[in-house]
Amino acid sequence: MSRRRLTFTALPIVLAVTLAGCTTTAVSGASQESTTTSVVSTYEGELTADAVLAANEDATVVQDDEWSAADAVDIALSRDTATTDADGVEVADATVTITTAGVYRLSGDYSGSVVVDAPEDALVVLILDGVDMDTTAGPAIQVVSADDVAISLASGSVNSVADAESYAEDAEANAAIHSTADLTITGSGTLTVDGRGSDGIFSQDDLVVLSGDITIDAADDALQGKDSLLVEGGSLAITAGGDGLKSDKDDDETRGYVWVSGGTIEVDAADDGIDAATDVVVTGGTIEITAGGGAGASAGEESSSKGVAAGAVAVVDGGALTIDAADDGLHSNGSIGIGAATVTIAAGDDGVHADATLDVHDGEVTVTASTEGLEGVDIVISGGAVDITADDDGINAAGSSTSSGGGMGDSGETLLISGGTVLIDAGGDGLDSNGSLTITGGDTVVYGPTNDGNGALDANGEFIVSGGTLLAVGSSGMAVAPGSSSTQSWISATASIAAGSTVQIVDSSGTVLAETTLPKSAASVVYSSAALTDGATYRVVVDGTAAAEVVEGTASAGQGGMGGGAPGQGGGRR
């Protein structure tokens, strides 16, 4: 079988992250061919689109220059019959069967089905040019045998297909358009797919959408390529009772991936918006996903309602991705990389969740609603702009296999901020690590909790600041300051601060080093910057009035403050 690789624009590799022992067990979906052997995938490459795609098997696509519409032979559909002069086409029992390679132009209304049963090395192209198919028995279009098949939507044409309203549980084909061969959809016309009985469009091999104006309404999964699903362009409007976009090949770690490189996609799915047994890669396009009714809905315990779900790796390295999900917004059982993309998420659970590494090296990540904003075992933010709103922790490094089950000891997780801008509004801990918390660069502002059971900053292991700027305000009951291994100066003070107040950090000469207006009340302030001087005295000024005076490197209670300081951190900067 020929392999024709879709090309993409190479993106800069900003940060190399190695995943040691990132193991994932992917579970096959219920539809189509079930697989009992699950793939165990260990990805040890960089969390960029280039690297992840290079590790996968090439997908097959029928490009438009591989065939000519001038070679098309006509098949005129009429109710339950059809007429044609083409060799290799049989018409019987409300079924058009194509048995040879070639280009075929279909037009007319039809209550039967079109079947491709060609040799295994055949390329078959179906041009839909004003087709309205409403089939009551099985798929409307079914590919039984061929090498590659393309469905081309003729310019200016309006086409629709609908299949049976139900299928037997052991049905070999249960989609409005079903293919056992590689399937490409192209053209500039429109296509409406009504998957009444189960799926919308399904390929047992690779499914590629190059172009077209496509609307799919499916009882179960809308658009599924078992080996892979690629969307390069076009406009897709998808409503699914199951998953929106899906690839579920779970016995081959180089397969079972979804790649979106362009187009406009709108998904409203009862389950996951995009679901891949292995990888989800986004390098372009505009994607809007509603999963499980959105962040305000209740996700069922036995169902998955994630915006994006990847079994191994999820990489968003371009384009715009907007998610409103009842469960996690962007989820991977392995790792996640976010590059030059715009990602906006409202989630009923985690905004972005990785079972291994979570790497943000560029782009814009905005989580407008979540339980926890970003969560992973090892979290690295080296660039881009991150804006998190969370009911619980803003950024949480947790879930290491060495964790002792929620104790206060260092269980090995890491949270590193080395660049970019980070803004957090958290009801729980702002920056939280069950292991170490390290800040070496970037600009970080944390509006932490108002309850004393959490803190703006929290680390079970070392908390080190050696660069960048940090301003963290929150409650004082669990307030912590940078540890003794920090090489950049810091101050920590307590003071009673009302919501809406303007807080300033002022040096002895009256120079304002930092200023912010609080969205909620606070009782502690931690600030670190290269502008601070070792051993100098600074004031925390609230609405023009000094609320605390503190010596650099020493935790201090302010005037009218709630006491506390920096429990468990001890000492000052060294």
Provide the residue count of the chain. 574
CB 157 within 8 A of CB 142: no
* Domain assignment of residue 77, yes or no: yes
* pLDDT score for 407: 57
Using CB atoms within 10 A of its CB, is residue 23 exposed (0-12), middle (13-18) or buried (19+)?
A: middle
Cα(56)–Cα(387) distance, rounded to whole angstroms?
Answer: 32
Reported as a pLDDT band with limits 50, 70 and 90, residue 567 is very low
Q: What is the DSSP string of 436-475?
A: EEEE-SSEEEEE--SSTTS-SEEESS-EEE-SSEEEEEE-
Which helix or strand (DSSP H or E) is residue 52 part of? helix 49-54
CB 332 within 8 A of CB 354: yes
Q: Checking phi first, is residue 282 left (phi over 0); if not, alpha (psi -120 to 50) or beta?
A: beta
pLDDT 10s digits, 379-431:
999 999 999 999 999 999 998 766 544 457 889 999 999 999 999 999 999 99
Token pair belonging to 112: 């039967």
Cα(332)–Cα(282) distance, rounded to whole angstroms?
Answer: 14
Cα(571)–Cα(325) distance, rounded to whole angstroms?
Answer: 44
CB 62 within 8 A of CB 3: no
Residues 6+ apart with CB under 8 A from 412: 400, 402, 403, 434, 435
Which helix or strand (DSSP H or E) is residue 53 part of? helix 49-54
* Domain assignment of residue 524, yes or no: no
* Domain assignment of residue 348, yes or no: no
User: Which is more confident, 423 or 13?
Assistant: 423
pLDDT 10s digits, 246-303:
999 999 999 999 999 999 999 999 999 999 999 999 999 999 999 999 999 987 766 7
Token pair belonging to 155: 């310019």
* Mean pLDDT, the chain, integer: 89
CB 43 within 8 A of CB 310: no
Cα(394)–Cα(430) distance, rounded to whole angstroms?
Answer: 5
pLDDT of 5 higher than 80: no
* Domain assignment of residue 383, yes or no: no
Cα(282)–Cα(46) distance, rounded to whole angstroms?
Answer: 15
| CA angle centred on 182, ends 176 and 187, rounded to 5° | 70
Closest CA to 210 of 106, 60, 434: 60
Using CB atoms within 10 A of its CB, is residue 166 exposed (0-12), middle (13-18) or buried (19+)?
A: exposed
DSSP code at position 301: T
> How many CB atoms sit inside 10 A of residue 75's CB?
24
Percentage of the chain modeled with pLDDT above 70: 87
Average pLDDT over residues 90-115: 96
Can you say whether the dihedral through the CA atoms of 300, 301, 302, 308 is positive or negative?
positive
Name the residue type at position 58. Answer: D
pLDDT of 155 higher than 90: yes
Place of tokens 């048995």: 99
Pairing of the two strands 378-381 and 414-417: parallel
Which helix or strand (DSSP H or E) is residue 49 part of? helix 49-54
DSSP code at position 495: E
Reported as a pLDDT band with limits 50, 70 and 90, residue 339 is very high
* pLDDT score for 42: 63
Closest CA to 231 of 195, 207, 197: 207
* Domain assignment of residue 178, yes or no: yes
* Domain assignment of residue 571, yes or no: no
pLDDT 10s digits, 429-453:
999 999 999 999 999 999 999 999 9
Can you say whether the dihedral through the CA atoms of 255, 259, 265, 271 is positive or negative?
positive
* Domain assignment of residue 93, yes or no: yes
pLDDT 10s digits, 510-549:
999 999 999 999 999 999 999 999 999 999 999 999 999 9
Q: Checking phi first, is residue 147 left (phi over 0); if not, alpha (psi -120 to 50) or beta?
A: alpha
CB 465 within 8 A of CB 491: no
pLDDT of 61 higher than 80: yes
Average pLDDT over residues 225-250: 98
Closest CA to 249 of 271, 208, 277, 275: 277
Residues 6+ apart with CB under 8 A from 234: 185, 209, 210, 211, 212, 213, 214, 263, 264
Reported as a pLDDT band with limits 50, 70 and 90, residue 41 is low
- For the chain, how many structural domains are there in total? 1
Cα(486)–Cα(529) distance, rounded to whole angstroms?
Answer: 12
Cα(306)–Cα(346) distance, rounded to whole angstroms?
Answer: 11
Reported as a pLDDT band with limits 50, 70 and 90, residue 348 is very high
Cα(448)–Cα(427) distance, rounded to whole angstroms?
Answer: 6
* Domain assignment of residue 153, yes or no: yes
* pLDDT score for 566: 39
pLDDT 10s digits, 349-387:
999 999 999 999 999 999 999 999 999 999 999 999 999
* pLDDT score for 2: 37
Place of tokens 């009444």: 196
Token pair belonging to 328: 């996690």
* pLDDT score for 45: 84
Token pair belonging to 238: 């998808």
Cα(88)–Cα(109) distance, rounded to whole angstroms?
Answer: 21
The gap between the terminal CA atoms of the chain, to the nearest Å, is 64
pLDDT of 9 higher than 60: no
Using CB atoms within 10 A of its CB, is residue 383 exposed (0-12), middle (13-18) or buried (19+)?
A: buried
Reported as a pLDDT band with limits 50, 70 and 90, residue 31 is very low
* pLDDT score for 564: 31
Average pLDDT over residues 470-493: 94
Using CB atoms within 10 A of its CB, is residue 54 exposed (0-12), middle (13-18) or buried (19+)?
A: exposed
Residues 6+ apart with CB under 8 A from 399: 355, 375, 376, 377, 413
Q: Report residue 339 CA to chain centroid gap.
A: 12
Domain range spanning residue 183? 61-187
